[in-house]
Structure 1
Amino acid sequence: MVAVVSAPTNLGLRPPVRGGVPGTAKAPEALREAGLHRLLHAQGAIDGGVVLPGRYVDNDGRRPAGTVRNQAAIVDHARRLAHRLFEIREAGEAPLVLGGDCSLAIAAGLAARVGGGGGFVHIDGHTDFRHPGNSDGVASLAGEDLAAAIGMHLPELSDIDGLGPYFASGSTAHIGCRYEDPHAEELRRIIGLVVPADDVILHGGARAASRVRALEGLDRGYWIQVDVDVLDPMHMPAVDSPDPGGLAPDELIGLLAALAPHAWGAAVTVFDPDLDPEGAHARTVARVVAEGFAGLGSALAPE
């Protein structure tokens, strides 16, 4: 059974303008308005509640060196959300988290470590692999979450409570980056699998999913995090960093439907309702989530 959790965080993103606040915190309720909860409940999903983040602060210029935006608030939210995810997993249910930004990967990683492991499937139009070893511009965890998830970020984020790395690099897959992504080659050398968006477009999501399941260490399933900027901007412009060359909604649905049965949980991130005043793109996300995650966790043996 799927348990739907709202995690309306925007803490990991850069401000859209100086002093501004990213709109991703509005995403769960915008998706509710678009009919997502009705669709999920019709499939048997239950309400997993809300885990609220702290207040977003644009603290550029005042932030201590060697930290990211809203770092303390991100850590606090990750701990509390991880506790909720662990409880849901222990109850034999599959959490489906509606975010929010990509910093949610940290909570999933903490829950995975405490709950006995599993792999990580990172579906995103970008690798999100900026880290202190390859950039002097580390500042926003939503563009650095994959690096943090496998232990390659600041220890305050990638080793919370001594639990890092949250996911083994060999049990981690990335799907969806564009070929020109600046960190794709480095990532290929480190994690188990990198599948660019073009490969899914040409060969389909089922092949990418079978390659994921061939990785080692996935006997207890994996966590899926899907950033909706993996979609092409012609279908999904309501994100902070749209890039051409992405998937169509039906291509993403096919990929998720092939992956979801073997996942113990999932998160959907970076949809920004501020960039969708008519609500049309919320309806696209709602359809992708309802159809793509209909079988979430269905192939895993009960805990």
Structure 2
Amino acid sequence: MSVTAPGWYLVGAPWDCSALGRGERLAPAALRAAGLSELVPDDAGDVPVVIDDARRDEATGVLALRQTARAARVLADGLDDAAGRRPGRRPLVVGGDCSLLLGVLPWLRRSRDRVGLWFVDGHPDFLDGAASPTGETADMDLALLTGSGPEQLTAPAGVSAPLVAPGDVVLVGHRTRDLDPEAAAEVARVPDTVRRIDAPAVLDAPRACGERAAALLAGVDGGVWLHVDCDVLDPAAMPAVTYPEPGGPGLGQLGDLLAPLLASPRLLGLSIADFRPDLDPDGVHAAALVALLRRLL
């Protein structure tokens, strides 16, 4: 007998901020084929986001700035349409890379004055256009969401900045040990008001860390979005990502971490990002991700 996740619907966001046609854009189709369509049969399809301009904005250093702002509006509108036909259900948004949140958070803020964010990632994603070697918004999405960066992305039309207040963010799973100077400088850029639960803490007590993250945002009345970048996992468990980072949890530990967040009454929805099917030719890691979601949803 097949097992389904009641109360959830699926939205694909094949978002590739690199403008290179990189493998993240293939993840929605690959995860569906690996069993996600059976787990979440209510499928709203893929939102047609397109980023293919590989030029950096001269003023800000951000890659494909105008196209990214347009893609964010397209994704927000697509999520609005899907949600309007599914009242009372939660979206599972499958990317694409982490900067798909530039569409998710504006959509949430259209109907809410305040939202929170559990940001589960191996990196803090807190560079800017000048500091990023590529200009990719996946290097800076948390900075943009919390109000640091060009106005086209920090304050989309009709939504005030920041999209999420720094104090309403819990950064979970980022690496803090044995960092090179550039990575250490990025961690240092994160505002003190952002709550943090680093990878060593997660490795030591994953479920307790999940419970702590849930408690930290229990007072956010508008609800909280859960975002998971697959590179939070140790490369031994998940090598099929763009920027693997050692020192992370395994799949079982990640499941223990996420369980209290998915059980939270504040949960608005879930996004999964940065899975690279092109680096998973046998489909082993796609199947592992779907098995994790089957356990959790």
Counterpart in 2 of 1:166? 163
Residue 64 of structure 1 deviates from its aligned partner by 3.4
Counterpart in 2 of 1:66? 60
Residue 176 in 1 paired to residue 173 in 2?
A: yes
Give the TM-score of the pair, scaled to structure 1.
0.85
The one-letter code of the counterpart of 1:210 is R
Give the TM-score of the pair, scaled to structure 2.
0.87
Residue 107 of structure 1 deviates from its aligned partner by 1.1
Residue 188 of structure 1 deviates from its aligned partner by 5.2
1:205 alignment partner, SS class:
helix
Q: 1:267 aligns with which of 253, 265, 271?
A: 271
Residue 144 in 1 paired to residue 140 in 2?
A: yes
Structure 1 residues 196-275: aligned runs within 5 Å: 196-215=198-217, 217-262=219-264, 263-275=267-279
The one-letter code of the counterpart of 1:98 is V
Alpha-carbon contact 1:195-1:208 (below 8 Å) kept: no
Counterpart in 1 of 2:14? 8
Alpha-carbon contact 2:117-2:224 (below 8 Å) kept: yes
Count of aligned positions: 279
Residue 120 of structure 1 deviates from its aligned partner by 0.8
The one-letter code of the counterpart of 1:70 is A
Residue 88 of structure 1 deviates from its aligned partner by 4.7
Change (3 A) 1:221 1:89: farther
1:177 alignment partner, SS class:
coil
Q: 1:277 aligns with which of 271, 281, 287?
A: 281
Change (3 A) 1:271 1:211: closer
Cα RMSD, aligned residues only? 2.1
Q: What are the superposed Cα offsets for residues 139-194 of structure 1, whole Å, 9 maximum, x if unpaired?
A: 11011100011111121211111522101111111101111342223325131x11
The one-letter code of the counterpart of 1:184 is V
The one-letter code of the counterpart of 1:82 is A
| Percentage of matched positions with identical amino acids | 32
Distance 1:185 1:212 in 2: 24
Q: What are the superposed Cα offsets for residues 6-26 of structure 1, whole Å, 9 maximum, x if unpaired?
A: 11111x23x7xxxx5311110
Alpha-carbon contact 1:124-1:230 (below 8 Å) kept: yes
Counterpart in 1 of 2:4? none
Distance 2:242 2:9 in 1: 27
Change (3 A) 1:92 1:278: same
1:96 alignment partner, SS class:
strand
1:286 alignment partner, SS class:
helix
Counterpart in 2 of 1:27? 27
Distance 2:121 2:39 in 1: 24
Q: 2:292 aligns with which of 283, 288, 292?
A: 288
Alpha-carbon contact 2:128-2:139 (below 8 Å) kept: no
Distance 1:162 1:216 in 2: 27
Change (3 A) 1:236 1:162: same
Counterpart in 2 of 1:189? 192
Distance 2:215 2:280 in 1: 35
Q: What are the superposed Cα offsets for residues 257-293 of structure 1, whole Å, 9 maximum, x if unpaired?
A: 210133101110010111111111111121222323x
